[in-house]
A and B are shown apart, each in its own frame.
Chain A
Amino acid sequence: MAQVADQAQKFVGGGILRKEDPELLTGAARFIDDMSIPGMLWVSFVRSPFAHATINSVDTSRAASMPGVRAVYSGADLADEWADGLPCAWPVTEDIKTPKHWPIAQDKARFAGDAVAVVVAETRPQALDAAETVDVDYEPLDVVVDMEAALADGATKVHDEFENNSSYVWNLDVGEVEQVFNDAAVVVKERYYHPRLIPNAIEPRGVICQPNPAQGEYTLYSATQIPHILKVTLALTLGLPEQKLRVVAPDVGGGFGSKLNVYAEEATCLALGRKLGVPLKWIETRSEGYLATIHGRDVIQDMEVAADENGKIAGVRANLLADMGAYLQLVTPGIPILGAFLYHGVYDAQAYSFTCTGVFTNKTPTDAYRGAGRPEATYAVERIMDALARRVGKDPVEIRRLNFLAPFDEAREVVTGLSFDSGNYDASLDKALDMFGYDDLRAEQQRRREAGDTKQLGIGVSTYIEMCGLAPSQVLASLRYVAGGWEAATIRCHPTGKVTVITGTSPHGQGHVTAWSQIVADELGVDFEDIEVLHGDTAISPLGMDSYGSRSLSVGGVALHYAAEKVVTKARTIAAHELEVSEEDLEYSGGTFSVKGAPDKSKTIPEIAFSAWTAHNLPEGTEPGLEETHVFDPPNFTFPSGAHLCAVEVDTETGMTNIVKYVAVDDCGKAINPTIIEGQVHGGIAQGIAEAMYEEAVYDENGVLMTSSMSNYRVPSAAELPTFEIDRTETPSTTNPLGVKGIGEAGTIASPPAVVNATIDALAPLGIDHIDMPVSPERVWAAIKNAGGSTVDARGAETTGAGSGTGSADAPGGGT
């Protein structure tokens, strides 16, 4: 089962099978909708069909008389429940405009889906039925959907209290930017758009509030990534004593950032629990979630690079418009800033400029979606590298090698002032090129070009970097984030030799229970199976900052390492006392202290845990028990990187694009569990390909979401995705003693430019140098048509390959 790394590391580095799986495989898992509490009522929200409207009145009388209905409230009815609006924890500038965001809208609805009333009934269908009968008198207002239109003079304002729709302008300038661009032999400028994305964790959101009125206590169960942050922020939003609130994340079915928020439904269910004193449950329907759960991306980038005539980069300049949607959710304004320092990628530059304007529109708020800010940066950098390569007549690989930062294994400062922890960008690219068969594919591409094949081949390169392990708390302070970036871990060694680990991370598919067990098993020499990992309940794990931003291992895992060190330190004192030697005379390996020169005299951690529990014979000043907590505040970010290569086949008649080969070589530092890493990379690439080729939330001019359900928002299935060939290089991080960097978002960050660069590369002979994501068949066809391509007219197919029999436009279906 486990690939044994070395004697001391029996588990770390091995592809250990997951402890989490049995309940998930047998239907025994407990997701939020699987839970119920006796006497529980159901909550349903009434949502505005208008993207922008004044709420003249809300008549709840008919709904209140519906069968089973216990209560109906408008926003005004609940106004007194709030000590404050829903929180935005990242006001990125001093003068940012942060609108009040009431959980239930009071004066106006500002996006289609904004909650305007809430119904409580005895059953789920009763709540849904009654919600339809709430009579809201809306006065529709002009709508702003497009960011540039929203910023134009005289545009309709999303929030009347502000002078315009600009929430903030955030800027970072380093070096003589103007001069570098003026002096450059080559300047390339392009405009990119990141589609608005709907995260689509397969489990919809849901909340259960269980009040204990006699004690004034509340337990809130939520399908969330952030139980700890929820507890603090909801206590503030509701004016609830924090010590009376317990938040539990049960089994959570995926997040990708969509459950990294403090939502109106969570606050409302808690308020209703306080008001009514009974347990309540709300479960989102998928189509409701498309409106009420945060979206991602929706960013326009003007990207520029200055270089010499060989393509050696001197400066970069990025100017962004980022769509906030109608309100600022938990970290909405900060998302573009998570990429702000990475617009030079893995390349050298002397001058750097980044500006982002956050824009209000009448759309669902945006916030963190897998990658958050870094896919945007990587896409702009890797697209412009290809554009630069075309301009100076170089191969995409060559232009990257020319500009790579040279390998470094000690932290080095880069143009933005950040310190990259370690990196070897050539190594991952070399390995990827080798796996890909780059030269052979280029030869095949040339052959098809010369033959004028209907199906052209394109090759895309993406050598990405990201920053993870968010973050040193002081750095977060300087970026005006209102919380810290630390993480906590506790190790409790039981007298029976078993171990309980308590983590502040909150996994929802990432396999922390397994990976954390591996770390502790090796460090304390206890069996992997003898370790229980507890998480996701603020009553059990009081200290934590939860899971997002690829932070769990590089912060939470490292906290665990330090907690284990503390356990060993205390155990060493006890062992020395029991063995009647000095601590210096003890050697520690694989969970056993042995006396130097007398290895038969030894004590194991479980033995010491027992004596620490009996406390019959402890050294003076040593407290009974063997339990340690460590809170780790990382000294720096980590900077995972890697090389992704993609080959696509573009049908120049239909515009259909298919990935024919995808290779990824990622460097996430030291590996704790290569199998889990592989899974993270696969899933990440799939989500990136989804952005590049399939997914886009589309609004009409009235602010109505056209891609309103899973049937027309195109989450790819297995049938759309290729088999990925993946491998790793290992350049240990210098930020932490485990040498780990993080892998949760790498695939999503790296893959979109690989796919889009490949698609453009396939069509480059037609003079095509740009197609927006998603590169849908129609977009590709339109690009070919606009380029005056020769293939716009219908003509017979040249390809009659073996029929897949699926009735595609690709191959004939076989009748028999």
Chain B
Amino acid sequence: MRRISLTVNGVKHDAMVEPRQLLVYFLREQLALTGTNVGCDTSTCGACTILVNGKSAKSCTLLAVQADGAEVTTIEGLASNGEMHPLQKAFHESHGLQCGYCTPGMIMASVDLIANNDAMSDEDIRMGLEGNLCRCTGYQNIVKSVQQAAGEMRSPAST
């Protein structure tokens, strides 16, 4: 067992982990942050996408010990003061989800995508989400949701 110390959604955690444990299972099983989902075993589906030090990562491609000292954000950490993040709001309003299983990963990938890209075409968003699979929506309303949130996040906060 190894001791690790990391910050998840602003909360500092010290924990003992098995060296072979993947970060996603540490989050889900030890921290009970079950919003980050597992959809495959080949780092393909992107359901487990989180932010590690602000950058999107598939939490199945990191060992928990690799996150020692890191700042991690999961879907549970996105809303603030009970207010949904603009992406959460946009996915709701643009019907960007159906079963909701891919949604946390899709939203976390979109956080990084919007942060690193200025005005995006729909095509840009499609390419930017190539690492996240959804089987329900056909992606059209996901693209619409990301477009909506991107617009909202860039325009000055409305009062």
Q: A residues within 8 Å of B by Cβ? A: 15, 17-18, 20-31, 33-34, 124-125, 200-204, 251-254, 256, 285-287, 508-511, 675-676, 678-679, 681-687, 709-711, 715, 717-719, 721, 723-724, 747, 806
Contact = CB atoms under 8 A, between A and B. Distances in A.
B137 A682 contact: yes
B4 interface: no
Given A20-B100, A718-B130, A202 B95 contact: no
Given A27-B75, A717-B129, A254 B136 contact: yes
A718 B142 contact: yes
Closest 7 CB pairs of A and B: A27-B35, A24-B100, A253-B101, A509-B99, A686-B138, A682-B138, A509-B98
Contacts of A285: 41
Nearest to A200: B135
Given A723-B140, A724-B138, A202 B101 contact: yes
A369 B129 CA distance: 26
Interface in B10-25: 18, 20, 25
Contacts of B20: 125
Contacts of B143: 718, 723
A721 B44 contact: no
A202 B47 CA distance: 8
Interface string B64-87: 000000000011101100001000
Contacts of B122: 723
Contacts of B38: 33, 204
A567 B36 CA distance: 42
A679 B47 contact: no
Contacts of A687: 135, 138
A129 B126 CA distance: 39
A251 B131 CA distance: 24
B100 A253 contact: yes
A256 B136 CA distance: 9
Contacts of A252: 99
Q: How large is the interface on B (under 10, 10 to 19, 20 to 34, 35 or more residues)?
A: 35 or more
Contacts of A509: 98-100, 136
A254 B92 contact: no
B59 interface: no
B159 interface: no
B42 A286 contact: yes
Contacts of B41: 285-287, 709-710
Question: Among the interface residues B102, B129, B139, which one has the most CB atoms of the partner chain A within 10 A?
Answer: B139
Interface string B25-49: 1001000011111111111110100
B111 interface: no
Contacts of B142: 718
Contacts of B95: 15, 17-18, 675-676, 678-679
B92 A21 contact: yes
B152 interface: no
Contacts of A22: 84, 92
A21 B91 contact: yes
B114 interface: no
Given A253-B101, A717-B130, 19 more contacts: A18-B92, A21-B91, A25-B75, A27-B104, A29-B35, A29-B100, A33-B34, A201-B101, A202-B37, A202-B136, A253-B37, A286-B40, A286-B45, A509-B136, A679-B137, A683-B137, A711-B42, A717-B131, A724-B138
19 contacts: A22-B84, A24-B103, A25-B84, A203-B99, A253-B39, A509-B136, A679-B95, A679-B98, A682-B139, A682-B141, A683-B98, A683-B137, A686-B138, A710-B44, A717-B131, A718-B126, A718-B134, A721-B126, A806-B127
Contacts of A723: 122, 140, 143
Interface string B113-132: 00000000010011101111
Nearest to A719: B130
Contacts of B43: 711
A25 B107 contact: yes
Contacts of A710: 40-42, 44-45, 133
A445 B36 CA distance: 47
A204 B39 contact: yes
A790 B27 CA distance: 57
Contact of B39 (A23, A286, A719, A747): A286
B130 A202 contact: no
Given A21-B97, A21-B100, A721-B139, A27 B76 contact: yes
A684 B135 CA distance: 9
A683 B34 contact: no
Contacts of B137: 679, 682-683, 686
B56 to A, nearest CB: 15
Contacts of A202: 37, 39, 45, 47, 99, 101-102, 133-136
B131 A24 contact: no
Nearest to A713: B44
Question: Among the interface residues A22, A251, A679, which one has the most CB atoms of the partner chain B within 10 A?
Answer: A679
Contacts of B98: 254, 509-511, 679, 683
A723 B122 CA distance: 9
Nearest to B34: A34
Nearest to A673: B95
A287 B138 contact: no
Contacts of A17: 92-93, 95
A715 to B, nearest CB: 5
A683 B135 contact: yes
B17 to A, nearest CB: 12
A683 B138 contact: yes
Given A509-B98, A510-B98, A721 B138 contact: yes
B24 to A, nearest CB: 11
A36 to B, nearest CB: 8
Contact of B40 (A30, A686, A709, A806): A709
A709 B43 CA distance: 10
A253 to B, nearest CB: 3
A162 to B, nearest CB: 36
B44 A711 contact: yes
A419 B121 CA distance: 47
B104 A718 contact: no
Contacts of A511: 98
Contacts of A18: 92, 95
Nearest to A679: B95
Contact of A31 (B37, B45, B131, B135): B37
Contact of B74 (A27, A683, A684, A709): A27
